[in-house]
């Protein structure tokens, strides 16, 4: 892995901040997509604030509007076009600078469409985040539209300033890109090949977060449990911490960090060392995201998921045996090409057997450039929606069943702040990511406390503090 030197790019942060001096400028950012995009946005905010802009939630006040885009499904793309239509008036009225970045910008047909039909100042991609200050500078100085997209692989960018959204929980990207090429998925085309950050850089970042008072860390990547795998297989890994299991063990040693989560792992990379690390390490959450996608072995094969229904269920069984109280969440796609009723029944069967605590359900969306888009036997929208509704109904039944098991239990909960559900209550989450609300003093915010669950309300639980 090659780390690129970004000193030259960061000089533009200084240059833009000189231009902006004394102008009291504001920016507005909209992030679409996954936690990786959110983490990228925190870096964009870090750079933008150093360039003299302050954040506003009111887009009409913004001098700079940034869209960090996602293209994993069609509705994410439609959202951007809607927003670009709206912001056009603002640009015409007061010259607002429009910057568009993220995964969608790595798609040529999209960039062509934006160039042809929409107003913007800067287009940047997932590989050119660090060049945003330079691009913005050129857009301002030369008063012309800048497009800065790279189609590169295997480079790591370190040292970008970061402005985090939260001061208790933080995300840390440990690897970028994906090599799996599931046939429905656009991510490998817009995020490039798998590459891992050095453990030294990751651990330093987490140690600094711990010193700053952060308690919970989420390790991020498209494929976290294949951390350093490519480097190991190519024989170019110089890191002693050369696997995900070893990385978990190191992060667990960091004083001050009390909870470690990670997302997303792939079932194929849940090797025994990873399972044992989860079992052994007290800070590592026992709530595992295990993306299923489909319960049908035939569909899994055409999806290129490289496991069968039985292998998935065996893995769940093995983890249940090895890790006391392990619980699972998952991602499921309905309506993949060729999916018939029997295939779909197999998905429902796995859902019934595993009793997932949380299911992220998606209707299959055709993505230009992916193999599945070219497959015959695309499923009619009506059938896709029927299946989606059936899965949702089953999920709600399982949710109600699972929720009952929480009543009377004691949960160790990190107090996050006041609840949005009811502002008289504080809020936090169980290890399984369920929202819990309870009455208590604001001084508890940022601490782990014991809560007894007294009632369940479908999407959240209510509890009482046991001890302070
Ligand atoms: N790397 C992660 C996340 C990928 S995107 C992982 O592998 O789990 C998040 C989820 O979006 C995927 O797990 C999948 O369920 C869903 N997804 C991806 N492409 C999709 C498509 N074309 N249509 C519908 N859902 C999709
Ligand atoms: Fe997409 Fe599959 Fe990679 Fe996840 S593992 S990002 S679903 S190609
Ligand atoms: Fe979307 Fe890119 Fe994440 S396509 S899901 S924002 S990696």
Give the pLDDT confidence of 56-82 residue by residue, as tens digits.
Answer: 999 999 999 999 999 999 998 899 999
232 Cα to the center of ligand 3, angstroms: 26
Give the pLDDT confidence of 330-348 residue by residue, as tens digits.
Answer: 999 999 999 999 999 999 9
* CATH number, domain with residue 37: 3.40.50.12160
- The whole-number average pLDDT for the span 144-166 is 89
* Nearest to 157, CA basis, from 48, 35, 5: 5
Does a cis peptide bond (omega within 30 degrees of 0) precede residue 264?
yes
1 falls in which pLDDT band (50, 70, 90)? low
Please check whether residues 247 and 325 belong to one and the same domain: no
Please check whether residues 21 and 135 belong to one and the same domain: yes
- The whole-number average pLDDT for the span 7-21 is 94
Please check whether residues 396 and 425 belong to one and the same domain: no
Please check whether residues 204 and 250 belong to one and the same domain: yes
Of 233, 254, 285, the residue at which a domain comes to its end is 285
β-sheet bridge partners, residue 362? 333
- Alpha-carbon distance of 456 to 104, in angstroms, equals 39
pLDDT at site 189: 95
* Nearest to 5, CA basis, from 146, 116, 144, 155: 155
Please check whether residues 329 and 434 belong to one and the same domain: no
- Alpha-carbon distance of 425 to 409, in angstroms, equals 19
Rounded to 5 degrees, what angle do the CA atoms 265, 370, 107 make? 95
Minimum CA distance residue for ligand 3 atom 7: 187
pLDDT-above-70 percentage for the chain = 99
Three-state secondary structure call for residue 327: strand
Evaluated on CA atoms 29, 35, 40, 42, the torsion sign reads positive
* CATH number, domain with residue 458: 2.40.50.140
Q: Ligand 1 pocket test: pick from 103, 185, 290 the residue with the most ligand atoms within 8 Å of its Cβ.
A: 185
Please check whether residues 273 and 187 belong to one and the same domain: yes
Please check whether residues 135 and 172 belong to one and the same domain: no
Give the pLDDT confidence of 234-270 residue by residue, as tens digits.
Answer: 998 889 999 999 999 999 999 999 999 999 999 999 9
β-sheet bridge partners, residue 448? 414
Around Cβ 23, how many Cβ atoms within 10 Å?
10
Please check whether residues 281 and 219 belong to one and the same domain: yes
Ligand positioned closest to the Cα atom of 365:
1
Please check whether residues 427 and 344 belong to one and the same domain: no
468 falls in which pLDDT band (50, 70, 90)? low
179 Cα to the center of ligand 2, angstroms: 8
Minimum CA distance residue for ligand 1 atom 10: 331
Lowest mean pLDDT among 312-321, 383-392, 422-431: 422-431
**Domain-embedded: residue 243:** yes
* Atom number of ligand 2 nearest to Cα 222: 6
Q: Is pLDDT of 153 > 90? A: no
Please check whether residues 184 and 268 belong to one and the same domain: yes
* Nearest to 365, CA basis, from 126, 76, 51: 76
Number of residues written out for the chain: 468
- Alpha-carbon distance of 223 to 264, in angstroms, equals 5
Provide the number of structural domains found in the chain.
4
Between residues 420 and 100, the one the model is more confident about: 100
Of 285, 319, 346, the residue at which a domain comes to its end is 285
**Domain-embedded: residue 158:** no
What residues make up the domain containing 459? 410-467
Q: Which helix (H) or strand (E) holds 67?
A: strand 64-69
* CATH number, domain with residue 328: 3.30.750.200
The pocket around ligand 3, CB under 6 angstroms, is made up of: 33-34, 36-37, 70-72, 103, 186-187, 190-191
* Atom number of ligand 2 nearest to Cα 179: 3
Please check whether residues 397 and 417 belong to one and the same domain: no
pLDDT at site 154: 66
Q: Ligand 1 pocket test: pick from 32, 291, 306, 371 the residue with the most ligand atoms within 8 Å of its Cβ.
A: 291
Indicate whether this model's pTM tops 0.75: yes
Please check whether residues 386 and 422 belong to one and the same domain: no
**Domain-embedded: residue 159:** no
- Determine whether the shortest distance from the Cβ of 332 to ligand 2 is under 6 A: no
Give the pLDDT confidence of 289-334 residue by residue, as tens digits.
Answer: 999 999 999 999 999 999 999 999 999 999 999 999 999 999 999 9
- The whole-number average pLDDT for the span 451-458 is 95
* Atom number of ligand 3 nearest to Cα 37: 6
- The whole-number average pLDDT for the span 80-86 is 94
Q: Ligand 2 pocket test: pick from 195, 223, 226, 367 the residue with the most ligand atoms within 8 Å of its Cβ.
A: 223
- The whole-number average pLDDT for the span 451-455 is 97
Rounded to 5 degrees, what angle do the CA atoms 283, 171, 291 make? 80
| Count of CA atoms in the C-beta half-sphere (13 A) of 355 | 13
- Determine whether the shortest distance from the Cβ of 428 to ligand 1 is under 6 A: no
Ligand positioned closest to the Cα atom of 304:
2
152 falls in which pLDDT band (50, 70, 90)? confident
- Determine whether the shortest distance from the Cβ of 364 to ligand 1 is under 6 A: yes
Mean pLDDT of the chain: 95
């Amino acid at each position: 892995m090659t780390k690129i030197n970004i000193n030259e790019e960061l000089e533009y942060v200084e240059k833009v901040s000189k231009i902006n001096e004394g102008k009291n400028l504001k920016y507005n950012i909209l992030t679409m997509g996954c936690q990786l995009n959110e983490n990228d946005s925190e870096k964009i905010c870090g750079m933008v604030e150093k360039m003299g802009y302050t954040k506003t939630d009111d887009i009409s006040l913004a001098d700079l509007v940034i869209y960090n885009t996602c293209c994993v499904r069609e509705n994410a793309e439609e959202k951007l076009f809607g927003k670009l239509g709206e912001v056009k008036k603002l640009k015409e009225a007061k010259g607002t600078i429009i910057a568009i970045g993220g995964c969608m910008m790595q798609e040529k047909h999209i960039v062509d469409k934006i160039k042809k039909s929409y107003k913007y100042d800067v287009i940047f991609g997932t590989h050119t985040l660090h060049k945003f200050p330079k691009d913005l500078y050129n857009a301002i100085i030369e008063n012309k539209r800048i497009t800065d997209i790279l189609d590169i692989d295997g480079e790591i960018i370190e040292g970008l300033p970061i402005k985090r959204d939260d001061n208790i929980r933080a995300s840390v990207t440990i690897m970028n890109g994906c090599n799996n090429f599931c046939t429905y998925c656009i991510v490998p085309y817009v995020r490039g090949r798998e590459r891992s950050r050095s453990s030294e850089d990751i651990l330093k970042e987490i140690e600094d977060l711990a010193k700053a008072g952060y308690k919970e860390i989420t390790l991020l990547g498209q494929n976290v449990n294949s951390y350093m795998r490519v480097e190991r297989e190519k024989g170019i890994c110089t890191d002693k911490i050369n696997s995900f299991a070893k990385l978990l063990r190191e992060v667990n040693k960091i004083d001050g960090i009390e909870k470690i989560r990670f997302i997303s792992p792939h079932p194929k990379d849940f090797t025994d060392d990873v399972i044992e690390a989860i079992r052994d390490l007290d800070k590592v959450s026992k709530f595992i995201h295990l993306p299923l996608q489909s319960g049908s072995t035939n569909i899994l094969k055409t999806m290129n998921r490289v496991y069968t229904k039985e292998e998935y269920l065996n893995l769940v069984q093995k983890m249940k045996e090895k890790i006391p109280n392990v619980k699972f969440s998952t991602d499921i796609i309905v309506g993949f090409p060729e999916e018939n009723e029997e295939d779909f029944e197999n998905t429902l069967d796995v859902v019934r057997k595993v009793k997932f605590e949380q299911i992220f359900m998606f209707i299959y969306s055709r993505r230009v450039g992916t193999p599945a888009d070219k497959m015959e036997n695309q499923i009619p929208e009506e059938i896709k929606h029927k299946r989606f509704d059936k899965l949702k109904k089953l999920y709600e039944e399982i949710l109600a069943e699972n929720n009952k098991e929480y009543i009377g239990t004691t949960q160790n909960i990190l107090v996050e702040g006041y609840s949005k559900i009811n502002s008289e209550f504080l809020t936090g989450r169980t290890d399984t990511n369920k929202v819990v609300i309870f009455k208590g003093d604001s001084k508890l915010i940022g601490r782990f406390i014991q809560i007894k669950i007294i009632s369940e309300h479908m999407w959240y639980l209510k509890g009482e503090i046991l001890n302070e």
